[in-house]
Amino acid sequence: MVTSSHEASHRIFQDRPELLTPVFQILGVGLAPKASIEALTPDTTELRPLERRVDSVLRVTPSEGTAFLLAIEAQGRRDPDKGVSWMYYLGYLMAKYGMPALLLVVCQDRRTARWAAGPFDAGVDHWHSVTTRPLVLGPDNVPVITNPDEAARNLAMAAFSAMTHGRDRDTTAILEALARALGTADTDSVAYYSELLEVGLGDTPARKTWRKLMSVGSFFPGRGTLVEETFLKGKAEGEAEGEAKGKAEGKAEGEAKGKAEAVLRVLAARGIEVPEATARRISSCTDTDVLDTWLDRAITATDTEELFAGEPAGQDLSDRSSDRP
């Protein structure tokens, strides 16, 4: 059964290929500073009723050196049949594309990572016709990133660190560093990494910690994440009220109402106390740009005052709506 954490562990390499440069440095594999990365089909099924599928397959074309294939497998436990499967994957991909291939196995626990390093031999007695030696990433070699500045320099590596160490005692510090780093990131990165971690941490206490730190769009539809719930609820309320009034004004008001509630939901999910006056201030705001600003700030704010940082005393930015024609 493919779990959410399994999906996220290899999916991040497709979505954020810049992760390969620091990862290859960890593994001691040389890679040119610039490389073109292309996701290929993971299907290795032959013309017979037997389906085989690699988790992810990337074609890596360095600016210097030889192009190669990288097969990526997320492995949650020891599996005695995997050695043969991995041999097959590599042989099939090399034959199909006419290129050399490497296998990278991603693990979230140390015992599985040590097993996955192999070697896996095929042969009789001491005669080995084929030997597979996967590259392995796990808690023993993926760095623990607890510095927000370091996390901001490479969000993909920081997110991968959090998923890999999701069951370690350092997890909370890693998540807090990543949350702070996302406070200065673009909106798309905030949405992607906040949801990726909720999926990638699976059924762990760290997931609950992350839900308190984050929220906001949907890169993993149907997973029932807090991000998806908040986004869909705000959108549904905005569209419903807009349709009820049948006017652009009504739709705008409904959208603002949904965004205002999203701000309050994020603060509540993170355990931040919201005074009644502040709740009224947020709920009565009709400027969607202001609400977007407050929603972004709600992700990392430590109290409600940080939502309104830089706004003149006695007049918040939502007052701009009254100046509109």
Q: What is the mean pLDDT of the segment spanning 282-295?
A: 87
Cβ-Cβ contacts under 8 Å for 78 (sequence gap 6 or more): 111, 112, 115
Q: What is the mean pLDDT of the segment spanning 163-185?
A: 87
Res 134: pLDDT = 95
**What percent of the chain clears pLDDT 90, i.e. is strictly above it?**
25
Res 237: pLDDT = 65
pLDDT tens sequence across 91-114: 999 999 999 999 999 999 999 999
Distance (Å) of CA 53 to CA 48, 102, 105, 126, 275:
14, 16, 14, 30, 53
**Assigned token pair, 161:** 């660190």
Greater pLDDT, 49 or 252: 252
Segment 315-321 long-range contacts (CB within 8 Å, at least 24 positions apart): 316/281, 316/285, 316/290, 317/287, 317/290, 317/293, 318/281, 318/284, 318/285, 318/286, 318/287, 318/290, 318/291, 320/287, 320/290, 321/285, 321/286, 321/287
6: pLDDT confidence band, cut at 50, 70 and 90?
A: confident
Average pLDDT, the chain: 79
Q: Would you mind telling me the total number of residues written for the chain in this entry?
A: 325
DSSP letter for 87, please.
Answer: H
Residue 160 has pLDDT above 70, yes or no: yes
Asked if residues 142 and 161 have their Cβ atoms less than 8 Å apart, the reply is yes
Query: Which residue, among 198, 208, 200, 156, has the nearest Cα to 181 in the 3D structure?
Result: 156
Q: Among the listed ranges 37-41, 183-187, 194-198, 266-270, which one has the minimum average pLDDT value?
A: 37-41
**Assigned token pair, 137:** 């990433």
Computed over its alpha carbons, how large is the radius of gyration of the chain? 24
Residue 136, φ and ψ in degrees, nearest 5: -130, 135
Res 124: pLDDT = 82
Greater pLDDT, 43 or 116: 116
251: pLDDT confidence band, cut at 50, 70 and 90?
A: low
Q: What is the mean pLDDT of the segment spanning 136-149?
A: 93
Res 271: pLDDT = 77
Residue 79 has pLDDT above 60, yes or no: yes
Res 136: pLDDT = 95
Query: Which residue, among 114, 297, 299, has the nearest Cα to 198 in the 3D structure?
Result: 299
**What percent of the chain clears pLDDT 70, i.e. is strictly above it?**
78
Residue 268 has pLDDT above 90, yes or no: no
Q: Among the listed ranges 45-59, 122-136, 289-303, which one has the minimum average pLDDT value?
A: 45-59
Show me where the domains of the chain are located: 4-137, 143-214, 223-325
Q: Among the listed ranges 102-111, 130-139, 187-196, 208-217, which one has the minimum average pLDDT value?
A: 208-217
**Assigned token pair, 67:** 């192009």
Greater pLDDT, 154 or 202: 154
Residue 144, φ and ψ in degrees, nearest 5: -90, 115
Res 226: pLDDT = 57
How far apart are alpha carbons 165 and 306 in whole angstroms? 30
Query: Which residue, among 18, 9, 213, has the nearest Cα to 108 in the 3D structure?
Result: 9
**Assigned token pair, 231:** 């986004």
Cβ-Cβ contacts under 8 Å for 313 (sequence gap 6 or more): none
Q: What is residue 117's three-state secondary structure?
A: coil
Res 132: pLDDT = 93
Residue 89 half-sphere exposure, CB side, CA atoms within 13 Å? 28
Res 198: pLDDT = 85
DSSP letter for 33, please.
Answer: S
> Which residue in the block uniquely carries the two structure tokens 């005692």?
169
How far apart are alpha carbons 294 and 266 in whole angstroms? 10
Segment 156-161 long-range contacts (CB within 8 Å, at least 24 positions apart): 156/12, 156/16, 156/18, 156/19, 157/19, 157/22, 157/23, 159/12, 159/16, 159/193, 159/196, 159/197, 159/200, 160/12, 160/19, 160/23
125: pLDDT confidence band, cut at 50, 70 and 90?
A: confident
